A and B are shown apart, each in its own frame.
Chain A
Amino acid sequence: MSKPVLIIGGGPAGLAAAHSFATVGKECVIVEKEDRLGGAPILSGYAKLVPTGEWAKDAIGGMVKRVEDASSVKVITGTKVTNFDGAPGDFTATLSNGDTLEAEAVILCSGFTHFDSVNKPEWGFGTHEDVVTTTQVEQMISSGQGVRCPSDGRKPNRVAILLCVGSRDRQIGREWCSKICCTVSSNIAMEIREELPDCHVYIYYMDIRTFGLYETKYYWKSQEEFKVKYIKARIAEVTSDGEKLIVKGEDTLVKRPITIPFDMVVHAIGMDPNVENPEISDTFGIDLETHGYIDVANRYGSMGATSRPGVYVAGSATGPETIDDSIAQGHATAMAVLSGAQDLKTA
């Protein structure tokens, strides 16, 4: 048990795992490819988090600080693992900076990649300036700038949020539900209504999946307190008449085509597998599941097992995941590593 545990990625899952190890005095090393820790909530500038409403920079920032302050945690940023050899208890990782690291085990907390909306050109992203993503709206809010139309900085009077952009779409090979976008969109809709009370917010959906307790706090609250309107329609295209964005689709509840003007259209972008997953799969010798996420080999007997003993996975590297569940998985997988749970296979 003398070698440290290697953690790939310093997002919510990786930070949680590192904190667990620090708590019991077990040495670990976080290797983060970006220049700082925090993962998507920090790097993409999220605003208020679901479900607590705390600002990402405070909530996740606190996790970062706790890990950076821990003496048993070593942080290496701007670096990737390029080669990984050995067996459980005795791995050697080669880093992109040329260094090598000895490790007892590794936890892949390599996360996801935001869906790139240019892959759905019919919805106008990249063509019309005022078509933005949920991530951009998060940034508008977290920066303090407020929700404004990028084209001319005006306050929008009418905003459409399109759900399932890059999710549940066989056309572009993304069959999964990204799980968080409905809730995030309800949250953003309320934030827009709070900042701009005269702005009407419409959410175009196929189904609403504000699962579990989010139903009350997001889906119901957004309607009951914030009067956000939900329209069952999958939008066909977003165009422009030169002044406004024109959203076309079918209102399926009245079976009527709609052609509605909007000031701003927000894509509720989904969670893609990390674009580097094929590379990660090669480097660490692990399997990916059919959608391209890291395959979880054992669902009941141990936490975070992959197809290779000694290599674990936690958080949104395994599939679309919420921040709090990623954190729980990070802690739980650290526990699995500490207890050598790989031996407890149920199969």
Chain B
Amino acid sequence: MPIHEKSLIRPENLTTHEDLMLDGVDVSGHWSTFIETRVVKDYNESLQDEIAALPGGEQIHRCWQCGSCTNACTVNAINEDFNPRYWIYLIRMGMESELLRDKDIIWQCVSCNKCTYACPRDVFPEGVMKATAHWLERKGHTEKSPSTHFDEVFTEQIVKTGKIEESRTMRRFFSRTGQALAQPWMIEMVKRMLRGLPIGMLTRMGLATLVAPRTNDWSSASAAIQEYIDEQHEKQSQALSLAELVETAKQDVAA
């Protein structure tokens, strides 16, 4: 169970020299197997600040590592590698490379918020998980998750029209996540709906698809919301030093 000792036997920490002579002795192959040092050399102090700059992560610095979040966690009960307490610690102390090892499971938080209610210090671990998942995406460590795509499609539509038109949301979501619209369950659902000959509903859906209904006088509200979103986005990009990241990447490509 202890997640900690994993690092001792991580495959990438094992070094074997295929061809090595030491003082005239042939120690090629598994004779020369070494475990890389696992000493923590320094703290990356910006990591906590970066997570704290994203919505949900603001209170991460309060954590005192009691483990209530992990004990309460729905996902941890199924996958013991899903350990919010541990990740919060890695973030707080700035152990970024360790955090990135778990990048493919952090997003699995189901937002049940049991941790939120268990936390004695109001850290809002669920928010921290969300912020961390977004941090991974924005830093380019992970692809956008389906839920992020859904959030974006949903938000874009609201900002644009002030209303949600479900079939449009679905179509765009499927398109952005690279899924076919003709999902088996969707076909089945449509078939069953058609059995009842829902003339009125079909008409409304058809109309909505054609004219995209809007809230009256929405444009100024829309502009204000968009401005706020852009502002926040820019602020977060700065906190995460994303521009510098892009610049470094460009230089790397040029070199």
* A259 B95 Cβ-Cβ under 8 A: no
A229, A255, A257: the one within 8 Å of B93 (CB): A229
Give the one of A231, A251, A253 with max B CB within 10 A. Answer: A253
A258 touching B90, Cβ below 8 Å: no
| Count of chain A residues with a beta carbon within 8 Å of a chain B beta carbon | 20
Q: Is the CB of A253 within 8 A of B89?
A: yes
Please determine whether B41 and A259 come into contact, CB atoms closer than 8 angstroms. Answer: yes
Among residues 13 to 53 in chain B, which have CB atoms less than 8 Å away from a CB atom of chain A?
Answer: 38-43, 45, 48
Judge if A154 is at the interface, Cβ distance under 8 Å: no
Interface size class of B (residues with CB under 8 A): 20 to 34
Could you tell me the distance in whole angstroms from the C-beta of A198 to the nearest C-beta in chain B?
Answer: 10
Which residues, 70 to 87 on A, are CB-close (under 8 Å) to B?
Answer: none
Are A260 and B45 in contact, with the CB atoms below 8 A?
A: no
- The answer for the CA separation of A254 and B62 in the assembled complex, in Å, is 18
B92 contacts A255, CB within 8 Å? Answer: no
A164 to chain B, nearest CB (A): 18
B4 adjacent to A200 (CB under 8 Å)? no
Are B45 and A253 closer than 8 Å at their CB atoms? no
B93 touches A259 (CB 8 A): no
- Known contacts A200-B45, A231-B93, A251-B93; A256 and B62 CB within 8 A of each other: no
A256 near B4 (CB under 8 angstroms)? yes
Per the bound structure, the CA–CA distance linking A261 and B64 in Å amounts to 23
Given A200-B45, A227-B61, CB of A256 within 8 Å of CB of B39: yes
CA distance A256 to B95 in the complex (A): 11
In the complex, B252 has a CB within 8 A of chain A: no
Asked if A223 contacts B38 (CB within 8 A), the reply is no
Q: Does A224 contact B (CB under 8 A)?
A: yes
The interface residues of chain A, by DSSP majority, are classed as strand
Known: A200-B45, A231-B93. A256 touches B40 (CB 8 A): yes
Contacts of B95 in A (CB 8 A): 254
**B7 CB contacts on chain A under 8 angstroms:** 256
A230 interface residue per 8 A CB criterion = yes
Please tell me if B174 contacts chain A, counting CB pairs below 8 Å: no
B5 contacts the other chain (Cβ, under 8 Å)? yes
Q: Which residues of B contact A231 (CB under 8 A)?
A: 93
Cβ distance B224 to chain A, nearest Cβ, rounded Å? 33
CB distance from B48 to the nearest CB of A (A): 8
Distance A79 CA – B92 CA, assembled complex (angstroms): 53
Q: Mark B1-14, 1 if CB is under 8 A from A, else 0.
A: 01011010000000
Give me 10 A-to-B residue pairs in the complex whose CB atoms sit less than 8 angstroms apart, sorted by A's number. A200-B43, A224-B61, A254-B40, A254-B89, A255-B2, A256-B4, A256-B38, A257-B38, A257-B40, A258-B39
Residues of B within 8 A of A (CB): 2, 4-5, 7, 38-43, 45, 48, 61-62, 64-65, 86, 89-90, 92-93, 95, 98, 121
Known pairs A251-B40, A254-B95 / 12 extra A-B pairs, C-beta < 8 Å: A200-B43, A200-B45, A223-B62, A224-B62, A229-B92, A251-B93, A253-B65, A253-B89, A256-B4, A256-B7, A257-B39, A260-B43
User: Considering the complex of A and B, which 5 residue pairs feature the smallest CB-CB distances, nearest first?
Assistant: A255-B4, A258-B40, A257-B39, A227-B61, A259-B39
